[in-house]
Amino acid sequence: MKKISFLNLGKHPITNNFLKTNKPKNEFFYNLKLIYHKETKLVSLDNFVPPKKMFNDKYAHRASASITMQEAYKNLAYKIKKKFKPKSILEIGSNDGVFIKYFSNINNVGVEPCKNLADLTSKMKIETYDKFWTFQLSNKILSKHGKFDIIYSANTISHIHNLNETFKAIENSLNSNGIFILEDPSLLKSLQKLSYDQFYDEHAYVFSITALKNITKQSGLEVFNVEELKTHGGSNRVYFKKVNNKTIKISNTVKKHLLKEKNFGMNKLQTYQIFAKKVLKSRKNLIKIFQKLKKEKKNIIGYGATYKSSTVLNFCKIDKKFIKYFLDTTPTKAGKFTPGTHIPIKKYNGIPSNVDYAFLGAWNFKDEIFKKEKKFINRGGRFITHVPSPKIL
């Protein structure tokens, strides 16, 4: 399979490796390089980081950390119940149970390799397997729970390296009428918004509908519906059925999305090369903003120590010189330091009155944050963003 590299983002740490000290010994770095697969149109990282280095019992991300996401999962659970009336549901990457908890009245099973998270849902009496999703695991779950009406996976399939096995295992676990629902960041949106920070160790892939269609064929799955979501800066919710299931009609949304991607040039290498050039320019302009504000002796902090921001900070070499500290609402991140750039993270307790600028690490929650930080904005505080181009908001 022909793979062509189109962007080298340099050396990067494990995004989830929030450090206990600002002088870590032997911090792990890998080369973050992006690849275009000519035949399947899939976009991936060149070097995959060993999964156990990323997904372990210290995993920091809590899906329920944001009100926006809590609401989104609650609404989706309601929609699935109403539309599909499932009697069984499996979630791959069940995190802290933010979604699967709504299905406690049916056969609900979680798969979550990060033990600290799996323990949370086990305590909620949701049968949770603290294992990586593999064909072997799908057989193990099958023998106990049978096949499923719905398999749901949000922000997880893009993390799994072996996609062939992943999709085959999903097909294996679905009822003949079963539906697989995948949610992951949209490659089209990343290209349009120049959000190159969608690429980091965990995101082995950023999917287009085109690539998903191409790579699932051989596993016996077929896309039948696509919904655009605002979450994670622009995601797709993609519905799959078994190829042999002719009772479910293919919605027009599939054709529409494929056409939109084609028109954007997503089937051409050149589009990715242009993206790469724009990313280099974006870095230059973001650094300029920080340098100018530093010269003016402004007090700059970071807002939301996201995984995404790790790519920006490390790629642009924005560290403690520019950002004094990050504020973040996730309890396990507080008191630690950002990976690679070693910026202290403080527990969020409002933005202190001496802060002039805040870099929006969590730009995907801009609306929620702007609503919450009216006081900061009204007293002249400003946010800095790099999406879709570096600027002060």
Of 96-104, 186-194, 305-313, 352-360, which segment contacts ligand TYD by CB under 6 A?
Answer: 305-313
Beta strands in 230-320 (DSSP E): 235-242, 300-303
Judged by CB under 6 A, the number of residues near ligand TYD is: 19
Residues within window 14-43 making contact with ligand TYD, judged by CB under 6 A: none
Q: Is 329 in the site for ligand TYD (CB under 6 A)?
A: yes
Residue among 6, 167, 239, 307 that touches ligand TYD (CB under 6 A): 307
Q: Nearest distance from residue 264's CB to ligand TYD, in Å?
A: 23
Residues 385 and 368: their CA atoms lie apart, in Å, by: 15
Sign of CA dihedral 64, 67, 69, 74: positive
Q: How many residues does the structure list for the chain?
A: 393
- Asked whether the beta carbons of 71 and 98 are under 8 A apart, the reply is no
Q: Is 209 in the site for ligand TYD (CB under 6 A)?
A: no
Q: Nearest distance from residue 161's CB to ligand TYD, in Å?
A: 18
Per-residue interface string for the shown chain with ligand TYD, residues 342-371, x marking contact by CB under 6 A: ------x-------------x-xx--xx--
Residue type, 59: Y
Q: Is 308 in the site for ligand TYD (CB under 6 A)?
A: yes
User: Nearest Cα to 215, choosing from 160, 133, 264?
Assistant: 160
User: Nearest Cα to 185, choosing from 172, 199, 174?
Assistant: 199
Report the number of secondary-structure helices (H) and strands (E) in the chain. Answer: 12, 17
Helix axes 209-216, 163-173, angle to 10 degrees: 70
Q: Which helix (H) or strand (E) holds 285?
A: helix 269-295
Q: Is 235 in the site for ligand TYD (CB under 6 A)?
A: no
Q: Nearest distance from residue 360's CB to ligand TYD, in Å?
A: 10
Per-residue interface string for the shown chain with ligand TYD, residues 46-85, x marking contact by CB under 6 A: ---------------x---xx-------------------
- Residue numbers at the binding site for ligand TYD (CB under 6 A): 61, 65-66, 304-308, 328-330, 333, 348, 362, 364-365, 368-369, 372
